[in-house]
């Protein structure tokens, strides 16, 4: 099986340079599809033999370039103009404008939301902290030590007994103080009674 002249093991770059691996004729001038092939052939001929007709080649080149530009303009769709964020001003305003932009700020807003989600305490952690707070708050307060009675009290110390009385619409506190009785009413102060 004979090898093609373009695919040799030695000196390939020179061969490619000489012969060129060309595209099929249909793909060769995609951008110049609307241009007359005879005109293109003449243009290529003028390029090769520019010593004979330099003026002709320059005219052909100008025509070909304008034809090519028109063909490309017809083929290529105009690109969407990206909205530019105005330069100048503070960086903070630029950042806010970027975040607020409907297309450009989409990813920025997503990142911000993700950060907020990560910082927020989880539901389980909340429940645990609530349970710990509930356990700590209603801890039973130590009961006050019972007041020593007269038999237990050492000499020289006075003893007080405080009891609540219902006295015609107001609650009074009665203190038994070594034989005499004093009643404390909320609005009237201490009143001695025997």
Block means of pLDDT (10 residues each) for the chain, 194 residues, are 56 55 60 66 63 68 86 76 66 80 87 86 74 69 59 53 51 49 54 51
Q: Are β-strands 170-177 and 180-185 bridged in parallel, bridged antiparallel, or unpaired?
A: antiparallel
Taking residue 64's Cβ as centre, other Cβ atoms within 10 Å add up to 19
Alpha carbon 83 to its chain centroid, in Å, reads: 21
What is the 3-state secondary structure of the chain? CCCCCCCCCCCHHHHHHHHCCCCCHHHHCHHHCCCCHHHHHHHHHHHHCCCCCHHHHHHHHHHHHHHHHHHHHHHCCCCCCCCCCCCCCCHHHHHHHHHHCCCCCHHHHHHHHHHHHHHCCCHHHHHHHHHHHHHHCCCCCCCCCCCCCCCCCCCCCCCEEEEEEEECCEEEEEEEECCEEEEEECCCEEEEEC
Alpha carbon 175 to its chain centroid, in Å, reads: 69
pLDDT at position 175: 47
Q: What are phi and psi of 150, to 5 degrees?
A: -60, -35
Buried b (16+ CB within 10 A) or exposed e, 87-98: eeeeeeeeeeee
Structure tokens at 116: 């907020």
Compute the residue count for the chain.
194
pLDDT at position 12: 54
């Amino acid at each position: 099986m004979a090898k093609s002249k373009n695919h040799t093991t030695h000196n390939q770059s020179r061969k490619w340079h000489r012969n060129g691996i060309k595209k099929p004729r249909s793909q060769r001038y995609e951008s110049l599809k609307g241009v007359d092939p005879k005109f293109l052939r003449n243009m290529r001929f003028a390029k090769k033999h520019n010593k004979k007709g330099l003026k002709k080649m320059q005219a052909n080149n100008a025509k070909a370039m304008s034809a090519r530009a028109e063909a490309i303009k017809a083929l290529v769709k105009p690109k969407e103009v990206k909205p530019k964020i105005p330069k100048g001003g503070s960086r903070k305003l630029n950042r806010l404008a970027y975040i607020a932009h409907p297309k450009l700020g989409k990813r920025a807003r997503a990142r911000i939301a993700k950060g907020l989600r990560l910082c927020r305490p989880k539901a389980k952690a909340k429940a645990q902290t609530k349970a710990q707070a509930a356990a700590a708050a209603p801890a039973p307060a130590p009961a006050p030590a019972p007041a020593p009675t007269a038999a237990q009290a050492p000499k020289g110390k006075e003893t007080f007994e405080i009891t609540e009385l219902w006295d015609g619409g107001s609650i009074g506190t009665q203190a038994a103080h070594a034989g005499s009785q004093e009643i404390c009413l909320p609005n009237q102060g201490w009143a001695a009674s025997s």
